[in-house]
């Protein structure tokens, strides 16, 4: 059984970030960053496997998500997210690999390119590129802004998820959904994230975020893996071509049958590609 500890990190602006930590203190470190609208629990399977492989892993909730604080000013900009990541990295010594899904991927990319993450030796971006497909971005935005009045039951929330991702089997036990919901004073269940997050959107849209990513792209020189879901509507061929042009050391790993939630859709295939990349660029022992 994997032994995890719960840790709280305080940012310079007073926000508290909550994360799970596991693995040997002497082991190479991997930091997991979830996507917009998710929580650290989306990485539970990958975290367990990474620790079993021998890595030290930090898996934290981004500001405005899960158990971490919401920004009092509604600041969910890339600089703010990168500043949070810098706090996490300051607790580690030695080289670090970042594995980020969607929002977590662009946070990692921006942090490296802007100099906020100098200790990073490898980057994994999960189904996100600098120029995501507009149709997929709009679909995520519609989902995250729908149901502003919440849900009366877990079944209603499950139905909303099924409508967004009809190809993923619906879980028999819905209790796990409570990790992504909060019971508010109105007696209804609401998604756990701060609604103000959507003013800045959870991907590299709007264009201001795209410009920020493009401006730092030449400074991202670490080995980079782009994990692409075979059925993704976020990363298309144009997204990949643009990524390869701007970040030429990028390797691309396709996961057939997976949508945008790659690790959740095809976890074994996802792990296979990521572990092979880490073994080459962020090994457990010096080679």
Does residue 274 sit within a domain?
A: yes
Contacts of 64 (CB under 8 A, 6+ apart): 70, 71, 76, 193, 194, 196, 197
pLDDT of 234-257, one tens digit each? Answer: 999 999 999 999 999 999 999 988
Number of domains comprising the chain: 1
* pTM reported for the whole predicted model: 0.92
**Are the C-beta atoms of 107 and 232 separated by less than 8 Å?**
no
More confident residue, 173 or 99: 99
pLDDT band at 200 (very low <50, low <70, confident <90, very high): low
Q: Please determine, for residue 137, whether its predicted confidence score (pLDDT) is greater than 80.
A: yes
Does residue 178 sit within a domain?
A: no
Residues 66-73: contacts with CB under 8 Å, at least 24 apart: 66/18, 66/39, 66/40, 66/41, 66/179, 66/192, 67/18, 67/39, 68/15, 68/16, 68/17, 68/18, 69/15, 69/16, 69/17, 70/194, 70/196, 71/15, 71/194, 71/196
Q: Please determine, for residue 262, whether its predicted confidence score (pLDDT) is greater than 90.
A: no
Taking residues 250-273, report their average pLDDT. 85
Would strands 250-255 and 4-10 be described as parallel, antiparallel, or unpaired? Answer: unpaired
Does residue 183 sit within a domain?
A: no
Taking residues 41-61, report their average pLDDT. 95
Does residue 164 sit within a domain?
A: no
Contacts of 213 (CB under 8 A, 6+ apart): 78, 106, 109, 110, 113, 130, 204
Omega of the bond prior to 206 within 30 degrees of 0, cis?
Answer: yes
Q: Please determine, for residue 131, whether its predicted confidence score (pLDDT) is greater than 80.
A: yes
List the domain range (segments joined by +) for residue 101: 4-133+202-281
Does residue 167 sit within a domain?
A: no
Q: Please determine, for residue 50, whether its predicted confidence score (pLDDT) is greater than 70.
A: yes
Helix intervals (H) in the chain: 44-53, 78-89, 103-113, 134-145, 154-164, 207-216, 237-246, 262-265, 267-281
Retrieve residue 266's tokens: 């095809």
Does residue 162 sit within a domain?
A: no
Does residue 103 sit within a domain?
A: yes
CATH number reported for the structural domain that contains residue 117 in this entry = 3.40.50.1820
**Are the C-beta atoms of 190 and 184 separated by less than 8 Å?**
yes
pLDDT at res. 2: 83
Does residue 28 sit within a domain?
A: yes
């Amino acid at each position: 059984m994997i032994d995890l500890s719960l840790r709280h990190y305080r940012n310079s602006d007073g926000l508290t970030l909550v994360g799970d930590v596991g693995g040997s203190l002497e082991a190479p470190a991997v930091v997991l960053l979830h996507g917009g609208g998710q929580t650290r629990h989306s990485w539970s399977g990958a975290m367990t496997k990474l620790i079993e492989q021998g890595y030290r892993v930090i898996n934290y909730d981004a500001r405005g998500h899960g158990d971490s604080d919401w920004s009092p000013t509604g600041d969910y900009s890339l600089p703010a997210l990168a500043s949070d990541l810098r706090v996490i990295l300051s607790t580690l010594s030695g080289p670090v690999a970042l594995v980020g899904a969607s929002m977590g991927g662009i946070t990692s990319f921006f942090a490296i390119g802007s100099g906020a993450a100098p200790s990073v030796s490898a980057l994994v971006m999960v189904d996100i590129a600098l120029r995501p497909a507009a149709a997929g971005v709009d679909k995520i935005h519609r989902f995250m802004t729908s149901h502003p009045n919440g849900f009366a039951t877990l079944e209603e929330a499950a139905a909303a998820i099924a409508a967004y991702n009809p190809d993923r089997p619906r879980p028999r036990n819905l209790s796990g959904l409570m990790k992504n919901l909060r019971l508010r004073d109105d007696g209804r269940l609401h998604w756990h994230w701060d609604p103000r997050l959507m003013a800045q959107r959870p991907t590299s849209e709007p264009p201001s975020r795209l410009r920020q990513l493009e401006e730092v792209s030449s400074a991202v020189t670490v080995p980079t893996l782009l994990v692409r879901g075979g059925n993704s509507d976020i990363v298309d061929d144009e997204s990949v071509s643009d990524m390869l042009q701007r970040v030429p050391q990028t390797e691309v790993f396709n996961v057939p049958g997976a949508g945008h939630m790659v690790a959740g859709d095809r976890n074994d295939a996802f792990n296979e590609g990521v572990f092979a990349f880490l073994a080459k660029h962020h090994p457990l022992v010096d080679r």
